[in-house]
Amino acid sequence: MRARSTRTFRLSGFVVACLLLAILPAHGLNLVNRFSPLNKERSPRRSTEYIILHTTEGPAKGSLDKLRKYGEAHYMVDTDGTVYRIIDRNRIAMHAGRSMWQGQANLDSVSLGIEVVGYHDRPMTNAQKRAVKELLRQLQSVYKIPDSKVLPHSMVAYGRPNRWHPSPHRGRKRCAMLMARSSVREELGLSGKPSFDPDVRAGRLVVADQTLERVLYGADPAAGSGASAGEAASNVIRPGRSAWDIARGRYKSSDTLYRFPDGRTRKGSEIKDWSKMPTGTEVIVGNSETESESSEDRVQEIGKDGSNAWEIAAGAYNDAETIYFLVDGRVRSGVELSRDNLDTLPKGTRMLVGYVHGGVLSKGRSAYDVAGPKWNLASTFYRFPDGSIVSGKDIDEKNIPSKAMVFYPK
C-alpha cells in the first residue's frame, strides 16, 4: 500500500511538472533541425575560440536554402526567434571565408557561425535578440568563449588587393556591423568588445572602409549614424563612391547588375574598363553567391577581367599566392615570373589571386587528402592535365584524373 502511494505521489508530481511547463513561459530556444546535406562530410573542429555573428542580407527562406546547400553556418536565427541548426556545432562550417583576427587566418576552423536573418544596417527584432542572447549564453558556456571573442563578421573579414585597394584590407564586408555597438552587445548579454583592429595596428591589413571602422570601434551612439546611414542606403556610383564601395568583392560578378544613366544594363562580368564607369550608375547586388564564391574567389582572365595582371591583382600581382595559368600550359606563381614577363602576359592568361597550390592528386592521394573539407567548395579549383580548370562544386570525386593540381584560397 505504501509503495502504491509513493508511485501515485511521484506520478502526480510528474503531471504537475508537465502542467507547469505548459503554463510558464519558455526560457530556452525554439530549435529546429535543418541540417545541411554536407553536415556529415564536414570535419570536427580541433578547437573553438570564436563565435562569428553574421547577417543574411536577404529574407529567411532563400537564406536558409543557401546556407543549407553550402553548409555556411551552424545556426540561423529567424525574425520570430526560431533557431535553425544547419551544421553540427562541433563540425566545421564554411561561414567566415577570407578572414583574419590577431594574425590567425581561416577562422572557419576555430569558430562557430551564427546567421541572423536581416541586414547589416537594420536592427534585429526583439525575438531575435532574445534568441541570439540565449544561444550565445549556451555556446559560450560549452566552449568557454569570452565576450571579447564574439565578433561580427565585418570585424574579421578581409579583402585581397584590387584596382581600388592595392593592399590586403579590412572592409570586405559590412556583415553584422551593428553587432559591434556596445548598446546592441549589451542587449545580447555581451559586455566586452575589441577597442581596435589588431591586424591593422600590426600592419597586416589596411583600412579600406572608414565608415565601417567608425561603426566597429567608434563610441556609441554616434558610430554608424549620419553619413554612415546615408552611405549604407546608397547604391549609386558617384565621386568617392566606387563599384567596390557598393558591391565589395562581388563588383565583377555576373550576379551584380549595373544600370547606367542612359538605361543600359550590364552584368559585372561583362564590364571591361572600370575607370569609365559613369557617375549615376546604379549597382544592384544579387544574393545568390556563396560566402566563398565572390568575384575575387574565381579564375580571372587577362583581357576579360583586366587588361593586364596588375589591373586584376594590384599589389599582389607578383606574390607567391597569385597563380598564373600560362597560355603555353605552364603553371607559375607571381614570384616565379620576372617583372618583364608579368607586364607582358598575353590575353587568355588565367589567374587565381590569393591562392596556394595544395598539391597534385595521385592514386594514393585523394582530393580530401590535399584540400581537406575544402575539396568540394566553389572556391577550390582543379587544373586537369588537359588544361581545363574546374571548380570544386562541379567536381565528380570518382572521375578526377590523376595528376590534377589543386588550388584553394590561402
Measured distance CA(389)–CA(397) in Å, rounded = 15
Measured distance CA(131)–CA(86) in Å, rounded = 16
Sort residue 145 into left (φ over 0), alpha (ψ -120 to 50) or beta: beta
For residue 167, the Cα-to-chain-centroid distance in whole angstroms is: 19
Instruction: Give CA angle at 13 (9, 19), nearest 5°.
Output: 145
Q: Which residues contact 309 (CB under 8 A, 6 or more apart)?
A: 302, 317, 322, 324, 334, 342, 343, 345, 349, 351
pLDDT at 49: 98
Indicate the average pLDDT of the chain: 86
Local structure of 261: helix, strand or coil: coil
Comparing C-alpha atoms, which of 306, 241, 315 is closest to residue 271?
A: 306
**Is the Cβ–Cβ distance between 149 and 47 less than 8 Å?**
no
Measured distance CA(387)–CA(288) in Å, rounded = 28
Taking only the tens place, the pLDDT of each residue in 260-311 is 999 999 998 888 788 888 999 999 987 655 554 555 678 989 988 788 898 8
pTM of the complete model: 0.78
Q: Per-residue pLDDT for the chain (410 aa), expressed as one digit of tens each?
A: 334 443 443 444 434 434 333 333 335 899 999 999 999 988 899 999 999 999 999 999 999 999 999 899 999 999 999 999 999 999 999 999 889 999 998 899 999 999 999 999 999 999 999 999 999 999 999 999 999 999 999 999 998 888 888 889 999 999 999 999 999 999 999 998 999 999 999 999 999 999 999 999 986 554 444 344 445 447 899 988 889 888 887 888 888 899 999 999 999 888 878 888 899 999 998 765 555 455 567 898 998 878 889 888 888 889 898 999 999 999 999 999 998 899 999 999 999 988 999 999 998 899 889 988 788 877 899 999 999 999 888 888 888 999 999 998 87
- Grid look-up 564554411 returns 94
pLDDT at 289: 55
Q: Answer whether the bond into residue 221 is a cis peptide, omega within 30°.
A: yes
